[in-house]
Amino acid sequence: MSETSILERLRPHVPWDRLTPRDDRGRATVLVPVDVLLDVLRAAREALGLDMCVDVTAWDRLPAEPRFEVLYLLGRAGTADRLTVKARAGGDPPTLPTATGIYPGAGFPEREVFDMYGVRFEGHPDLRRILMPDDWEGHPLRRDFALFEEPVEFKGHTPKVPSEIIPYFPPHSPSGSGGETPPVRG
Amino acid sequence: MPTTETLTINMGPQHPSTHGVLRLILELEGEIVRGCTPVMGYLHTGIEKEMETRTYHQNVTLVDRIEYLANYNEEMAYFQSLERLLGIEPPRRAKYIRVLMCEMARIASHLIYLGAGGMDLNVSSLFLYCIQDRERFLDLSEMVSGQRMMPGYFRAGGVAEDVPEEFIPAARDYLDYLAGRFDEYERLLKDNLIWRERLEGVAPLSREDAIALGATGPVLRGSGVVHDFRKLAPYGGYEEFEFDVAVETGGDAYARYRVRIEEMRQARRIAQQALDRLPDGPWITNDRKIALPPRAELARSMEAVIHQFKLVSEGMHPPAGESYVATESPRGEKGYFIVSDGSNKPVRVHVRAPSFYNLQTLPVMLKDRPLADVVVAIASIDIVLGDVDR
């Protein structure tokens, strides 16, 4: 079955008018408001048979609000059926309900999103840092988290920020502009 | 008087059978594992963050270091997603070269599984045979890319350089030689009492648990699910090759071993087809906004010089948007989620790392099993810690 028809199959089971479906280069994606997120995930699992939570990830939309877009990539074992459900989390701390009650496989990746972005998944059975050390401060994949080099004791060493090696060139930057400071600077 | 007290022990991160720096907190009741908590992050190097500060082209270097036993497959996944974003297709010869390298890398990666997994069970001669065979692949890799590991060979829209003339006969030799080796390994292990007893029925994973926990690759296929993205949604030219998906219903460490042995045979079959039918033609796209112009052009064409300068000092600009393409690495589904804002650097690169998700099945495999099975279970998942921690 083709990926676009997945959205058509989902339509009867969810409050469709509140969703923003999109066919993005062959990927069926749907942006859902936070309060119906779990309903959509449940409908995907029960009505569409999408039994695998392939991936949960996020990205930082800074400076847009709500700031974090969390993506749930759902699939069905043995088929190429795919649906990407997106929800946006704002506020401080950004909060979303956990999907672990519907998809047990979301356990590790939700911990990763929490670790990297600080998005709290309410009801997660074990929401701890997973990759960073337990006493780490901040959430490193946030766009305003600065990349830095640890100071060393050698003389004549100037710490360098990797993003300055090749500067940032925004889209349609004029030829010879020499790059710019990124809009969001870590 | 019987006691129900449990003992919590720590295994790793420095332990030879964890295949890297994996730490497990095991809760034991006598010899029986009642609970298992994987602790990872010891190899976390912030690759996803680093990738946001570099251009798309520079990022190949970082990509190679994630699944470091199957670099070609890792590059394949990255460029599938990037090319979808750019809206380009590599030429046919490039696709065939990529498939050829990926399938040989798959064999080399499974050889490490077999060798290291065998060594965990004290079958140490097997390790030497496997490393010896892998060594020949590394020589081939050196021929095409100049590197044994971390090749950095694929490019957006193709591969960096055509394969050298001497590579074709050498690869053919290697594939012919491998056919007999696989049979030999199987003969060595099939009737080996220790191997069978230590693998059969050990580290069981039901079909339901495998699906629910997001397992992919040989772990999922060993539990009876026919799930292989080379077949389900062929990418990068796989639709032109004939092969079977290896699947076993046992759901134990032995089933996973059988799946990988069969996969090596199928990978050899694909590689053989790629060699036999290797088409002529260019090996990289001639879109000058994406790929460097050929060296010879630089001496004659001012335009080529400008393109070259822009690509090197600035890099390519994929259109704004996001993309994800699922590919089949030796460990399972590998995909890159790339978000672009139209500038020369990605906003976000996320790696869907199969080892990370497969590791979720470990506590299920070990529940109420003897402590000695821990080593077998870890080996049967075939984790790469670079892939788990990124």
B235-293 pLDDT, tens digit each: 988 999 999 998 988 889 999 999 999 999 999 999 999 999 999 989 898 888 888 88
Q: A184 in a domain, yes or no? A: no
Q: A38 in a domain, yes or no? A: yes
Does B322 score more than 70 pLDDT?
yes
Q: Are strands A95-97 and A120-122 parallel, antiparallel or unpaired?
A: parallel
Q: A163 in a domain, yes or no? A: no
pLDDT (tens digit, 9 = 90+) per residue, A33-82? Answer: 998 999 899 988 888 889 999 999 999 988 888 889 999 999 998 888 88
B12-21, B107-116, B347-356: the lowest-pLDDT one: B12-21
> What pLDDT, on a 0 to 100 scale, did the predictor assign at position B77?
93
- How is residue A65 annotated by DSSP? S
**C-alpha torsion angle, residues A53, A59, A61, A67 (rounded to 10):** 60
For range A103-130, the mean pLDDT: 91
B contacts of A145 (beta carbons < 8 Å)? 49
For range B5-13, the mean pLDDT: 85
Per the structure, the count of domains in chain A is: 1
Return the residue of A nearest to B357 by Cα: A108
Q: What length does chain B have?
A: 390
A105 vs A99: CA distance, rounded Å: 9
Min Cα distance B300 → chain A (Å) is 22
Record: contact A166-B232, CB cut-off 8 A = no
Q: A106 in a domain, yes or no? A: yes
Q: B217 in a domain, yes or no? A: yes
Q: B2 in a domain, yes or no? A: no
For A37, the enclosing helix (H) or strand (E) is: helix A37-46
Q: A183 in a domain, yes or no? A: no
> Is A101 near chain B, with CB under 8 Å?
no
Return the residue of A nearest to B22 by Cα: A131
Name the pTM for this structure.
0.90
Q: B23 in a domain, yes or no? A: yes
Does A1 score more than 50 pLDDT?
no
Q: B1 in a domain, yes or no? A: no
> What pLDDT, on a 0 to 100 scale, did the predictor assign at position B124?
84
B212 vs A110: CA distance, rounded Å: 15
Per the structure, the count of domains in chain B is: 1
For range B13-18, the mean pLDDT: 78
Mean residue pLDDT of chain B comes to 90
Does A112 score more than 70 pLDDT?
yes
The CA–CA distances, whole Å, from B219 to B230, B258, B263, B358 equal 16, 11, 13, 7
For range B306-322, the mean pLDDT: 89
Residue B263 contacts residue B246 (beta carbons within 8 Å): yes
> What pLDDT, on a 0 to 100 scale, did the predictor assign at position B361?
92
- Selected for mutation to probe chain B from A130, A145, A163, A172 (highest B CB count within 10 Å) is A130
Q: A97 in a domain, yes or no? A: yes
Record: contact A162-B53, CB cut-off 8 A = yes
Does A2 score more than 50 pLDDT?
no
> Is B61 near chain A, with CB under 8 Å?
no
For range A170-174, the mean pLDDT: 77
Mean residue pLDDT of chain A comes to 84
Q: B370 in a domain, yes or no? A: yes
Residue A9's pLDDT band (boundaries 50, 70, 90)? confident
B218 vs B334: CA distance, rounded Å: 13
Chain B 227-286, residues with CB within 8 Å of chain A CB atoms: 227, 229, 232-233
Residue A3's pLDDT band (boundaries 50, 70, 90)? very low
3-state secondary structure of B371: coil
Does A4 score more than 80 pLDDT?
no
Q: A124 in a domain, yes or no? A: yes
> What pLDDT, on a 0 to 100 scale, did the predictor assign at position B2?
62
Q: Residue B205: which CATH number? A: 1.10.645.10
Residue A79, domain extent = 4-133
Say which residue, A130 or A160, is predicted with more confidence. Answer: A130
Residue A185's pLDDT band (boundaries 50, 70, 90)? low
Residue B65, domain extent = 7-389
Q: B219 in a domain, yes or no? A: yes
Does B5 score more than 90 pLDDT?
no
Q: A140 in a domain, yes or no? A: no
Return the residue of B nearest to A76 by Cα: B211
Q: B258 in a domain, yes or no? A: yes
Q: Which residues contact B44 (CB under 8 A, 6 or more apart)?
A: A131, A132, B389, B390
> What pLDDT, on a 0 to 100 scale, did the predictor assign at position B296?
87
